[in-house]
A and B are shown apart, each in its own frame.
Chain A
Amino acid sequence: MAIESAHVKADVVEASEFVPLVEKYRVHGVPKVVINETVEFEGALPEDRYLAEVLKAAQS
């Protein structure tokens, strides 16, 4: 998505190397996705639902 839109930045974070972030975002399972500090979900989502979460974050 970050490749498709200039408004999107994407970070892949290796959880075991950044424990403070894991604690901050309460990562219990992977993949865990945090968008704009406002939307978060755990586990893989189908593309349409993933997009819906991104759009939700962009509106809040």
Chain B
Amino acid sequence: MPLISADDQTFLRDKFAKELVNTVDIVLFTQGDSPLTVRGQECAYCKETRQLVEEVSALSDKINLAVRDFVADAEKAKQMGVDKIPAIVLDSGTEERVKYYGIPSGYEFSSFVEDIIDVSKRSTNLKDNTKQALAQLTKDVHIQVFVTPT
């Protein structure tokens, strides 16, 4: 049973075909398939998150998906700044600066799709004065946005 309906798949395939520019790499950090879990570290939505990004990446040749194990690939996770799972890292020459932690479902799914497109374009619809101000930053800024799926 797909998470993305047939109608939505058609819509997204068309949208991606029109709007994606550069190839987007999606890296999913998840847990292994082992039935054993450490108490307190169960990843409630890892399976669904993997299914969702697999379905999304299948909708365009410009979206590449790599699935990594958070424990086995701990070194890579650390290098990419990933500290919890499920983690979805979006990259297209943008240095892995955009991440989603947890499943981007419901309302968040549209933000996720728009972010894939913006990362692919390497530009956003922000106002010019916002872009200019951001270009003058000299210190690193880490923004965490807490959301809920509904």
Contact = CB atoms under 8 A, between A and B. Distances in A.
Interface residues of A, number: 37
| Chain A interface, DSSP helix/strand/loop, else mixed | mixed
A16 to B, nearest CB: 6
Interface in A9-60: 9-18, 21-22, 25, 27, 30-36, 47-48, 51, 54-55, 57-59
Contacts of A6: 95, 97
B144 A34 contact: yes
Contacts of B127: 47-48
B102 A17 contact: yes
A16 B126 contact: no
A7 to B, nearest CB: 4
A37 to B, nearest CB: 8
15 contacts: A1-B126, A5-B134, A7-B138, A9-B81, A12-B112, A14-B147, A17-B44, A18-B84, A21-B144, A22-B146, A30-B148, A31-B146, A31-B147, A33-B144, A35-B143
